[in-house]
């Protein structure tokens, strides 16, 4: 029945279109409302629309409730320098009815701005190749300061540039970089060496001037919970989690290459759209699939009902929707004209979270439109606790370079650039007015109290203001909140607010390490790394019952040396070693990839237990040993491989050897040694154990 309805709907849409055009025209904002099929408990209202906003891609509320929107009218073409049309506008609700009725230009002529973040009375702005700081100092509502904070980011494709600024509970500001190359320098620390950005995302601190790579390849959409878990959006993969932090993965230079993030969706690329694919997409997909078949490739491309334009993934932290929705992730798909919702839950045996559909949305989306112009690019949350949906509203939203010339001949990629909508989603019957707010005028003590507010916007804004003010006098109040609050989200904010003020003590960290909330224990382990007694603090957490805490313990303990560390890492492997993340966490450290650690595991019988990840550990350990090319470590490995339980396990022995050869090939070996190793590797007559013996003879 659902399929028949969808087919009928498509036929009706095409019948309504002009017979001289393959693409339908736009709807008015009010007409667009009738195109939405929304979760039955909610309603959607027009919050802002043209002419007050056009081509919106990001919206943020500052500490005083002022509403700033990034407009990106140049997309998909990068304008020549001096001809930029990008703007940031300040929206106003002058009659107080909850709908925008005026706007002023805060800043204009901005090169491909994609995201903003309120900071220090102004705005941080991603505008590749830069991150800018804009501020109005004379009170006229227009920016009169424009300063380049960071420069050198990739700037050749607006769909893959620096974007999605987010202030984390850990006082860092995060940005998605899509793993693009670049040499980034900072005006906060002009003496700091430039940062190579290839295969990395980005984070920085305004209070300390630090900036660094982080793992991930986020595109347009990034979101963090309050306990250090970071998720990002990337076209077809609507929700990925960054698992292995960059600073641990790069502790030594010998790790094998693998993805440091995970697709945590349990429903893969599936989505339920109400619109037919546009002609160009359907035809391009048909051609591509014909090509795949002609070349006998095991590959299929989908033109519909599969994520291709996922955008703006956002964890809902408001207090307006009710407890069942708190922590849910909302993600738009600009090609599917819909909003998808994921419910997150922790995996009991992995550092990964699991993103699942809600039981009410097993065959439909939280919101879907029959209007193919609906382009949900992003979301915003504010002081009212509701969810705001940013709709770019264009006829086409695709990079022209990816469409064959004949298909784009009748496509106007700028058609609709005069449009733009922002919607408010709220439970039915909710009063649609914005609260008057002025947190910039709140006392520091009032800001401390707001760290326990039920709305995440208040918690986040209050912590940011505490960081900006650097008022040391409130440290006792923060410490009291950490020790006495019943709300975990207040305790984690208090913990990091103390860190941001430079007032964090070892006693504070110890208090957090025994917290009942696993997320706080996990973050306390990160903070323990900066304490003089960090090893002593971290050692007990190899036994923590929570999988995410144990994973962080493996990462943290890897910063140290000694027999106790080896024993703790071995214990973690015995408990979680059938999950590769724990193996990589251990091996990312010098101590966990050492000859002595292998000897310990052998003596403890780790490799005698089936299905505990021992084979995977051995393969990765062999790669690292080969890449290090340390004579003693290689001798120890090759000697161990000649004994039980490896010698008579041909499958494990062969896979371990293969990875050892891969690691050795990473080295600049002298010509003679490289040739000897190659001969051993390619000897088809030799068994695996004979190859082990031949390699050992070289060392």
Question: Quick one: 2-427 is in which CATH superfamily?
Answer: TolB, C-terminal domain (2.120.10.30)
Q: What is the pLDDT of residues 629-672, one digit of tens each?
A: 999 999 999 999 999 888 888 888 999 999 999 999 998 888 99
Cβ atoms within 10 Å, residue 185:
17
Domain map (residue ranges) of the chain: 2-427, 594-699
Whole-number Cα distances in Å, 52 to 112, 125, 232, 319, 625 = 19, 21, 30, 28, 61
Query: Does an H or E element contain 489, and which?
Result: helix 488-500
Cβ atoms within 10 Å, residue 276:
19
Tokens linked to 45: 């209202």
Question: Residues in the chain, how many?
Answer: 699
pLDDT for position 1: 38
Q: What is the mean pLDDT of residues 352-364?
A: 97
Provide the CA 31 distance to its chain's centre, in angstroms.
Answer: 34
Q: What percent of the chain has pLDDT over 90?
A: 91
What are the residues whose beta carbons fall under 8 Å from the beta carbon of 31, sequence distance 6 or more? none
Q: What percent of the chain has pLDDT over 70?
A: 97
**Angle at alpha carbon of residue 678, lines to 676 and 679, rounded to 5°:** 65
- 169 SS3 class: coil
pLDDT value at 366 more than 90: yes
Q: What is the mean pLDDT of residues 1-14?
A: 40
pLDDT for position 618: 95
Burial of 375 (0-12, 13-18, 19+ CB in 10 A): buried
Q: Using CA atoms, how far apart are residues 358 and 343, in angstroms rounded to an integer?
A: 6
What are the residues whose beta carbons fall under 8 Å from the beta carbon of 341, sequence distance 6 or more? 39, 328, 329, 330, 331, 357, 358, 361, 365, 366
pLDDT value at 158 more than 90: no
**DSSP E strands: which ranges in 366-521?**
367-369, 376-381, 387-391, 421-427
Nearest CA to 199 out of 154, 148, 263, 155 is that of 154
pLDDT band of 2, cuts 50, 70, 90:
very low
pLDDT band of 628, cuts 50, 70, 90:
very high
Tokens linked to 429: 């019957």
pLDDT band of 5, cuts 50, 70, 90:
very low
The residue assigned the tokens 């600009």 is 334
Upper half-sphere CA count for residue 422 (Cβ side, 13 Å): 29
Nearest CA to 345 out of 267, 265, 272 is that of 265
Pairing of β 421-427 and β 387-391: antiparallel
pLDDT for position 650: 85
pLDDT for position 672: 92
pLDDT value at 259 more than 90: no
Provide the CA 98 distance to its chain's centre, in angstroms.
Answer: 32
pLDDT for position 296: 95
Nearest CA to 371 out of 389, 342, 395, 353 is that of 395
pLDDT for position 128: 97
Q: Using CA atoms, how far apart are residues 126 and 115, in angstroms rounded to an integer?
A: 6
Q: What is the mean pLDDT of residues 124-140?
A: 97
Q: What is the pLDDT of residues 306-338, one digit of tens each?
A: 999 999 999 999 999 999 999 999 999 999 999
pLDDT value at 221 more than 70: yes
390 pairs with which residues across the strands? 378, 422
pLDDT for position 77: 92
pLDDT for position 585: 98
Q: What is the pLDDT of residues 265-303, one digit of tens each?
A: 999 889 999 999 999 999 999 999 999 999 999 999 999
pLDDT band of 435, cuts 50, 70, 90:
confident
pLDDT band of 514, cuts 50, 70, 90:
very high
Q: What is the pLDDT of residues 47-65, one digit of tens each?
A: 999 999 999 999 999 999 9
CB 434 within 8 A of CB 93: yes
What are the residues whose beta carbons fall under 8 Å from the beta carbon of 579, sequence distance 6 or more? 349, 350, 613
Q: What is the mean pLDDT of residues 210-234?
A: 96
pLDDT value at 7 more than 80: no
Cβ atoms within 10 Å, residue 671:
7
Q: What is the mean pLDDT of residues 200-209?
A: 97
pLDDT band of 478, cuts 50, 70, 90:
very high
């Amino acid at each position: 029945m659902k399929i028949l309805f969808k087919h009928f709907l498509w036929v009706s849409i095409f019948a309504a279109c002009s017979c001289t055009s393959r693409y339908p025209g736009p709807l008015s904002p009010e007409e667009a409302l009738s195109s939405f099929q929304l979760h039955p408990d909610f309603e959607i209202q027009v919050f802002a629309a043209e002419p007050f906003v056009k081509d919106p891609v990001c919206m943020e509320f500052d500490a005083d409730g002022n509403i700033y929107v990034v407009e990106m009218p140049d997309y998909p073409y990068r304008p020549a320098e001096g001809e930029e049309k990008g703007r940031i506008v300040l929206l106003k609700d002058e009659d107080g009815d909850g709908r925008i009725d005026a706007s002023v230009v805060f800043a204009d002529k901005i090169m491909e701005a994609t995201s903003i973040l309120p900071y220090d009375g102004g705005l941080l702005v991603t505008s590749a190749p830069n991150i800018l700081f804009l501020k109005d100092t004379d009170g006229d509502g227009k920016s009169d300061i424009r300063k380049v904070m960071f420069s050198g980011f990739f700037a050749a494709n607006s769909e893959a540039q620096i974007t999605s600024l987010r202030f984390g509970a850990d006082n860092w500001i995060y940005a998605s970089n899509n793993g693009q190359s670049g040499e980034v320098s900072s005006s906060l620390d002009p003496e700091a060496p430039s940062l190579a950005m290839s295969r990395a995302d980005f984070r920085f601190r305004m209070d300390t001037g630090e900036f660094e790579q982080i793992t991930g390849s986020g595109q347009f959409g990034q979101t963090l919970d309050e306990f250090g878990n970071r998720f990002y959006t990337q076209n077809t993969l609507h929700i990925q989690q960054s698992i292995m932090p960059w600073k641990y993965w790069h502790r030594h230079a010998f790790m094998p290459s693998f993805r440091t993030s995970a697709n945590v969706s349990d429903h893969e690329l599936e989505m339920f759209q109400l619109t037919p694919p546009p002609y160009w997409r359907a035809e391009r997909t048909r051609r591509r699939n014909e090509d795949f078949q002609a070349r006998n490739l095991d590959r299929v491309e989908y033109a519909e009902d599969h994520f291709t334009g996922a955008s703006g993934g956002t964890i809902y932290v408001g207090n307006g929707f009710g407890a069942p929705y708190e922590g849910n992730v909302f993600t738009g798909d600009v090609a599917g004209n819909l909003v998808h919702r994921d419910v997150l839950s922790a995996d009991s045996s992995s550092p990964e979270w699991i993103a699942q559909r809600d039981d009410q949305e097993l065959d439909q989306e939280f919101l879907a439109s029959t209007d193919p112009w609906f382009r949900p690019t992003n979301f915003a949350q504010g002081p009212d606790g509701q969810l705001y949906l940013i709709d770019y509203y264009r006829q086409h939203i695709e990079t022209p370079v990816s469409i064959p010339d004949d298909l784009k001949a009748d496509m106007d990629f700028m058609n609709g650039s005069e449009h733009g909508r922002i919607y408010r989603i709220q439970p039915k019957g909710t009063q649609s007015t914005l609260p008057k707010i002025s947190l910039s005028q709140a006392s520091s003590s009032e800001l401390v109290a707001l760290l326990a507010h039920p709305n995440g916007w208040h918690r986040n804004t209050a912590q940011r203001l505490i960081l900006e003010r650097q008022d040391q006098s409130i440290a006792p109040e923060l410490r009291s909140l950490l020790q006495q609050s019943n709300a975990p989200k207040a305790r984690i904010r208090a913990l990091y607010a103390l860190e941001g003020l430079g007032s964090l003590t070892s006693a504070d960290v110890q208090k957090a390490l025994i917290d009942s909330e696993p997320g706080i224990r996990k973050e306390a382990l990160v903070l323990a790394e900066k304490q003089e007694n960090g090893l002593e603090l971290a050692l007990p957490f190899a036994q923590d019952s929570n999988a995410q805490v144990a994973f962080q313990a493996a990462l943290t303990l890897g910063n140290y040396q000694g027999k106790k560390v080896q024993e703790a890492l071995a214990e973690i492997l015995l408990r979680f070693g059938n999950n590769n993340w724990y193996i990589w966490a251990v091996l990312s450290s010098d101590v966990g990839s050492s000859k002595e650690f292998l000897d310990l595991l052998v003596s403890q019988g780790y490799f005698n237990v089936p299905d505990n990840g021992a084979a995977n550990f051995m393969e990765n350990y062999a790669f690292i040993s080969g890449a290090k090319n340390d004579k003693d470590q290689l001798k120890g490995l090759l000697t161990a491989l000649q004994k039980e339980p490896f010698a008579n396990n041909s499958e494990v022995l062969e896979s371990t050897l293969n990875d050892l050869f891969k690691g050795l090939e990473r080295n600049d070996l002298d010509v003679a040694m490289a040739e000897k190793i190659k001969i051993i590797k390619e000897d088809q007559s030799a068994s695996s154990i004979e190859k082990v013996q031949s390699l050992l003879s070289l060392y």
